[in-house]
Structure 1
Amino acid sequence: MQSRPHSYLFSISYFGARYKGWAPQPNQPTVQRKVERVLRHVLEHEDFSLIGASRTDSGVSCVGGFVQVFLREKVDMNSLLPDLNEYLPQDIQLNSVQDVPASFNLIQSVSQKTYRYYFTNSRDFHPFASAFLFNIPGELDWEMMKEACKLFTGKHDFKGFCRPSENKTDYVREVLSASISNSREFLGQYFPQEIHFFEITGTGFLHHQVRMMMSAIWQIGKEEMGISEIARRFESPEEFEKLPPAPANGLVLWETLLSNL
């Protein structure tokens, strides 16, 4: 039961390159720790708690996330928003804030999430672009990669496409859509002319799931994996070696949709 009756919902964006993910870790910079530090400074006390809608991994960025903050005393959080952003580092931004009932459960209210993984297939890849996307050199079978995306849609056991946990028994997740598209988000002399993104929307995701799916799609594009292996991994994940996750730098939590608001 939440003992702090006043609750505020922030939308948040951050560039994850400098952080060891969202969640606090001992002696490591994380996004949550930075937000907590600034809240302490602006509110001038520590009597608050917060939760995030997503626990992104080290190096993963976020365009559309949410944070819920609980306080004992009511404040005009809209008036404090400019101060919070002034003291936050420039790679973290609180975009908006609204009052919500303390009974509002952020975690349970997440109805779906969309991730994008940005990559290119370039022969002349500039190091500056590596902050935002990953380069896969060599020939790729784009039609086969797009067909692989279709096979991920629906409800499946994704144990063969995630980092399993000893405490987890349910690996069934529902993917609502998955596709590869051309990107226009990154332009300039240091970026390749052709940039692509793998976009996936689902009701929830497992640890490293999106990055391992991206890795599998690349292997299929390189003809290092047959497309039929996707279905076989759904049926018998223990029969296959663990997939290497795609590097974190290309992954962005693009959108989070909430219900019960």
Structure 2
Amino acid sequence: MNYRLDIQYDGTRYEGWQRQKTTGNTIQGKIEEVLSRMLDAPVQIDGAGRTDAGVHAKGQVANVHMDTEKNCEEICAYLNRYLPEDIEIYKVTQVQERFHSRLLAKKKVYQYRIATGHHKNVFERKYQCPLHEEFDVDAIKAAAELLTGTHDFKSFCSNKKMKKSTVRTIYSIRVESLPNELRITYTGDGFLYNMVRILTGTLIEAGRGTRKPEEMKGILSACDRGAAGFTAPAQGLTLLEVEY
């Protein structure tokens, strides 16, 4: 049977989502370890997105094919009993055999949070990029508008050996100026390696005045990672939702 897992995690102390041969300290690795113990057999799960080391998730989705006599509530309870306190499975549901968390995803929503005030928020410091500076929000919004739509985002991908298509669609980039915080929320059909963090770094440069918003067109057409801005730190990024 095929099961969908809805997951949230604080990615601060992990080496990202994807399992790795060199370390067991990944989100996927931790979940597979507990499921393998539950079934007394090796288990592999598929995640909707491979979040980087230090990136968080409120709405990650995975699926797993397994045979068990436990019902969904019992599977969920078992996982949460043995997973670390910074990983939570908040729902387990049985789904159709053809459901695949990554291949069938229609939209993904990521949010990047930037601390803009003069003082750090000690309770939010793991979830904000601590720049503590003011930005030209109108310039960021103007730049974001030019990045919205269907484009080749090769300039915003850290994987230089990427052989597959780098064309993606960003449906919206919402920029919110809050007291002591700037939030940028991206909704798209999919994102390349480090894409959201590079987009954010580029928008920050526009907000600082070191780039003009109209430069976004040239960055896109360059299809060159060197044309875009810096890669924003992982800690400010959270995967909010995956839509099917």
Give the alignment's TM-score, normalised by structure 2. 0.92
Distance change >3 Å, CA 57–CA 240, structure 1 → 2: closer
Q: How does 1:1-261 map to 2 (within 5 A)?
A: 6-25=1-20, 26-41=22-37, 43-73=38-68, 75-126=70-121, 129-182=124-177, 193-238=179-224, 240-241=226-227, 243-258=229-244
Distance 2:219 2:119 in 1: 35
Q: Report how many aligned residue pairs link the two structures.
A: 243
Distance change >3 Å, CA 249–CA 78, structure 1 → 2: same
Q: CA deviation at 1:113?
A: 0.2
Distance change >3 Å, CA 44–CA 173, structure 1 → 2: closer
SS at match of 1:226: coil
Which shifted more, 207-216 or 20-29?
20-29
Q: CA deviation at 1:64?
A: 0.6
In structure 2, list runs of 5 or more residues that go unmatched. Answer: none
CA deviations on 1:112-148 (whole Å, 9 max, x unpaired) are 0000001121222255542110122334211111111
Distance 2:100 2:225 in 1: 38
Distance change >3 Å, CA 228–CA 96, structure 1 → 2: same
Give aligned-pair identity as a percent: 29
Distance change >3 Å, CA 52–CA 214, structure 1 → 2: same
Distance 2:50 2:28 in 1: 9
Distance 1:137 1:29 in 2: 31
AA aligned to 1:253 is: L
Distance 1:40 1:58 in 2: 23
AA aligned to 2:27 is: V
In structure 1, list runs of 5 or more residues that go unmatched. Answer: 1-5, 184-192
Distance 1:74 1:111 in 2: 32
Larger radius of gyration: 1
Q: Would you say the 8 A contact 1:21–1:31 is kept in 2? A: yes
Give the alignment's TM-score, normalised by structure 1. 0.87
